Chains A and B, each alone.
Chain A
Amino acid sequence: MDLLTIVLILDSAVRLATPLLFACLAGLFSERSGIFDIGLEGKMLGAAFAAGAAAALTGSAWLGLLVAILVSVLLALIHGFASITQRGNQIVSGVAINFLAAGLTALLGQAWFHQGGRTPQLLGDARFKSLTLPGAEAVAGVPVLGPLYSELISGHNLLVYVAAAAVPLTWWVVYRTRFGLRLRAVGENPAAVDTAGISVAWLRYRAVIVCGVLCGLAGSYLAIAQSAGFIVNMTAGKGFIALAALIFSKWRPWQALGACFLFGLLDAVAIRLQGVSVPGIGEVPVQLMQALPYILTVVLLAGFIGRAIPPRAGGVPYVKER
C-alpha cells in the first residue's frame, strides 16, 4: 500500500466519520443531561429528508440546512416532551421517534416527489460543495505533506469543517461554561441542581434542543453535502453507530472524535477490502468489518476493556419532591 492509497482511505474515513461525529456529539449533550437518546437515528433521517426536500424545492443548501435543523429539533422536542414533561420511558420514546422518521420520510417522499421515496437530484447551489483550502494546489507536489494537505485536509465540504470545529466547541461548552457545569450536574444528580434553584426541566429541554440541532447537521450532511439528495433509509444504522461511539468515548467530546474516526475508518477499510485478500489472513469478510463497531461496543459495555459508566441519572425522569 503506497502513501496515496493510505491518504485516500483516511480521506474517505473523514467523510464517513463526519455524520457520526455530529450525531455522537448530539447524543453527548442529551445523555449528559440525563436524557437517554436512542432516537439519534430517527432525527438524522428526518433531517436528511427535510434537507433534501427543502434544498430541492428552494435550490438553496442553506435553506435545506435550516429546515433540516427545524425538523430535527421538532423530533427532539417530542422526545423531550415525552421524557421530561410526561416522565415517560425514554427508550420507548426513542424507538417511537426512529419509526416515526422512518415511516414519514418514506411516505412523504413518495407522496410529494413520486420517485420511490427519493428526493430530486440536487444541482449547483442546492448542495454544499467541496472547498479548496488556500494553497492546496500549490503544495500538492510536495512529497508526503503535499498529498496530506491537498487530499486529506483540503477538499471537503463546509460541514466537515463545522463538525471538526464542533469538537473543541463542545468541550468548551461542557467543561468551561456555567451551562456545561449545570448540564453535567443535572445528568448526575438532578435533585442537587433543583435545590440550587435551577430548573431541571428547562436545562434538559435546552440539552435536547442542542441535540436536535446537531442531528439536523448530521442529516443535512448526508443528504445535501455527501450525496445529492435523500434516499429511503439513508442513515442505515449510522445513528446507532454514533450511539456506540458515544458509549465508546465514555460521553466525552475528544474521545468521541477518536471513536467516530475509528468507526469511519473501519467503514472505509471495509469498502476498500471488499474481495481483496489480505496477506497472512486471507479474505476478510466484509460483514465482519461492518459488524465490528457493534461488537467492539458490546465488548466495551461488558467491561472487558475499561468500563463505560453512563451519567448516573440517565434514563430516570426527575420528580420534584412534593
Chain B
Amino acid sequence: MSAPFAKLPAWADYGLIPLINVTAAFLVSGLVVAFIGENPIEAVRLLVWGALGFGEGIGFTLFYATNFIFTGLAVAVAFHAGLFNIGGEGQAYVGGLGVALAALALDRVAPWWLTFPLAIAGAIAFGAAWAFIPAWLQARRGSHIVITTIMFNFIAASLMVYLLVEYFSPPGSMAPETRTFAAGGALPKLGGLFEHLGLDIGGAPANISLFAALAACVFVYFLIWRTRLGYEIRATGFNPVAAVYAGISPVRITVITMLVSGALAGMMALNPIMGDQQRLQLEFVGGAGFVGIAVALMGRSHPAGVILAAVLFGMLYQGGAELAFEKPKISRDMIVVIQALVILFAGALEHMFRPAISRAFAALSGSQQQAVADAGEGG
C-alpha cells in the first residue's frame, strides 16, 4: 500500500489532533517551568486554583475570557476567508475610541442601557473602519494584508497616544486618559447574577458585555455556516480561484470579511472601557488582540472552539496572576510563552503529528478489516 495517509475520522481530525497539539504546547510550557526551577505540577495546581478556586477568580477569568472571545472571533472570521488579520490589537484600540465617544456623549444624561447600544455601534464602526484600509489595499492594490495590518497596529498606537494626550485628557490632568464616565457609561457587573447562583465574585469586573460576546458567537456561527455570504466567505478561503469561477467577487468578500473581523475586534473595547475602568486609557488592549490569534487557532475557527479556548486563556491570565503572586519566579510573562507555544504547535506545526496518527489509524483499521475478513471466511 502506498498511501498510509488514510483519511481520518472527523472526531480525530477536529478533536484528537488539536488536543494533541495543545497538549504538546502545555508539555513544553511545563518544561520551561521546570527549567527555571519550579515544580510544573505545583504550578498547574496554583494556576487552576487561582482561576477557578474561588468566586473572584472565576469572575476575573470570565472578564478576560470576554476579551478573548471577541478577538478570537475576529481572527477566526478572517481565517475562513483565507485572510490573516494580525491587526486585531489595533482595531480593538481604535474601537475603544468609538466606545469612549459614545460614553462621553451620553453618560451624564442617559442610563447605561441607552449608552450601551450606541457604544456597540461606535465600537463596530471604528473597529471596522480601521480594518477597512488594509482590506481595501489587499483587495484592490494587492498589498499583503499581514504586513499592512501589522503596520496599522503601530499607526493605531501612535494615533491613540496623540489623541489621548492632545484631545481627551481632561484639563489640568497630565494622565493620557479620558475623564471617568458617570453612571450612564458603566455597564452592570455580573455580581448580582452570580449571587443568585450562590457565588460571590467579589470585586471582579465581569460584566454584561460577556453576553454581547456570546451573542457575537451565535452571530458568527449563523453568518459563516447558515448564510449565502458565509458560504461565499468559506468558498473564497478554500479556493479563491474556484470562487471567482463561481461568480464570487474576491474584492467584495475580502472587504466584507475584514469589516466583520474589525468590528468584532473593536467590540472587545466594550469590556475593559465600559465594563471595568469607565474611561479610555493608554494601551488598554494589553495584547488581547494577539491572544485572539492563539484562541482562533486553538478553537479551529469555530465559535464553540473559540469560547472554549477563550475561557482557557482567561484561566491562564487570571490563574497566571495568582501564580505569579505565589511563585515570583514564574512571572506573568509565562502566559505569553504559553500563548507562543499554542500558536506554534496548534498553528505552524499543526500537521506535525498527523502522519503518525494517520499511520496508527491505518494500522488499526487494517487489522480490523483483516479480522472482519477472517470472520467472513470462518462463517
A positions within 8 Å CB-CB of B: 38, 78, 82-83, 86-93, 95-100, 102-104, 106-108, 110-112, 117, 237, 240, 243-244, 247, 285, 287-288, 290-291, 294-295, 297-298, 301-303, 310
Given contacts A95-B343, A99-B336, A111-B329, contact A88 B351 (CB under 8 A): yes
Query: Cβ of B32 and Cβ of A294 under 8 Å apart?
Result: no
List residues of chain A with CB within 8 A of the CB of B334.
103, 107
Query: Cβ of B141 and Cβ of A82 under 8 Å apart?
Result: no
Complexed CA–CA distance, A92 and B21 (Å): 15
Query: Cβ of B142 and Cβ of A96 under 8 Å apart?
Result: no
Determine the main DSSP class of B at the interface with A.
helix
What's the nearest-Cβ distance from chain B to residue A78, in Å? 8
Query: Cβ of A298 and Cβ of B344 under 8 Å apart?
Result: no
Complexed CA–CA distance, A108 and B347 (Å): 25
Complexed CA–CA distance, A110 and B332 (Å): 10
Any A CB within 8 A of the CB of B293: yes
Given contacts A87-B351, A88-B350, A96-B344, contact A103 B336 (CB under 8 A): yes
Interface string of B327-340 (1 = CB under 8 A from A): 01111011111111
List residues of chain A with CB within 8 A of the CB of B63.
none
Any A CB within 8 A of the CB of B349: yes
Query: Cβ of B86 and Cβ of A298 under 8 Å apart?
Result: no
Any A CB within 8 A of the CB of B251: no
Query: Cβ of A88 and Cβ of B348 under 8 Å apart?
Result: yes
Query: Cβ of A243 and Cβ of B348 under 8 Å apart?
Result: no
What's the nearest-Cβ distance from chain A to residue B265, in Å? 16
B343 partner, pick from A96, A288, A310, beta carbons under 8 A: A96
Given contacts A99-B343, A107-B32, A291-B154, contact A92 B348 (CB under 8 A): yes
List residues of chain B with CB within 8 A of the CB of A103.
333-340
What's the nearest-Cβ distance from chain A to residue B196, in Å? 39
Complexed CA–CA distance, A236 and B349 (Å): 27
Closest 7 CB pairs of A and B: A103-B336, A99-B340, A93-B348, A301-B143, A103-B337, A88-B348, A291-B158
B297 partner, pick from A92, A99, A111, beta carbons under 8 A: A92
Q: Which of B144-152, B202-210, B220-228, B361-369 participates in binding chain A? A: B144-152
The interface size of chain B toward A, counting residues with CB under 8 Å, comes to 48
For residues 126 through 144 of chain B, which have their beta carbon under 8 Å from a beta carbon of chain A? 133, 137, 141-144
Query: Cβ of B143 and Cβ of A100 under 8 Å apart?
Result: no
22 interchain pairs, CB-CB under 8 A: A38-B146, A82-B348, A88-B349, A88-B351, A91-B86, A92-B343, A95-B293, A96-B347, A96-B348, A97-B340, A102-B333, A103-B334, A103-B336, A103-B338, A103-B340, A104-B333, A106-B333, A240-B150, A243-B150, A287-B161, A301-B147, A303-B141
B32 partner, pick from A97, A104, A285, beta carbons under 8 A: A104
Any A CB within 8 A of the CB of B84: yes
List residues of chain A with CB within 8 A of the CB of B158.
287-288, 290-291
B333 partner, pick from A83, A107, A302, beta carbons under 8 A: A107
What's the nearest-Cβ distance from chain B to residue A83, in Å? 7
Any A CB within 8 A of the CB of B159: yes
What's the nearest-Cβ distance from chain A to residue B320, in Å? 11
Any A CB within 8 A of the CB of B36: yes
Measured CB to CB, the nearest residue on chain A to B160 is A287
Given A93-B344, A291-B159, 13 more pairs with CB closer than 8 A: A82-B349, A88-B349, A91-B86, A96-B344, A99-B336, A99-B339, A100-B340, A287-B159, A287-B162, A298-B143, A298-B148, A301-B137, A303-B142
Given contacts A285-B162, A301-B137, contact A106 B147 (CB under 8 A): no
Given contacts A96-B344, A244-B151, contact A91 B336 (CB under 8 A): no
Query: Cβ of A106 and Cβ of B336 under 8 Å apart?
Result: yes
Measured CB to CB, the nearest residue on chain A to B84 is A91
Query: Cβ of A110 and Cβ of B141 under 8 Å apart?
Result: no
Any A CB within 8 A of the CB of B290: yes
List residues of chain A with CB within 8 A of the CB of B339.
99, 103
Complexed CA–CA distance, A87 and B150 (Å): 23
List residues of chain B with CB within 8 A of the CB of A97.
340, 344
Complexed CA–CA distance, A66 and B165 (Å): 43
Query: Cβ of B330 and Cβ of A240 under 8 Å apart?
Result: no
List residues of chain B with CB within 8 A of the CB of A301.
137, 141, 143-144, 147-148
Query: Cβ of A298 and Cβ of B152 under 8 Å apart?
Result: yes
List residues of chain B with CB within 8 A of the CB of A96.
340-341, 343-344, 347-348
Any A CB within 8 A of the CB of B27: no
What's the nearest-Cβ distance from chain A to residue B334, in Å? 6
For residues 148 through 177 of chain B, which have their beta carbon under 8 Å from a beta carbon of chain A? 148, 150-152, 154-155, 158-159, 161-162, 166
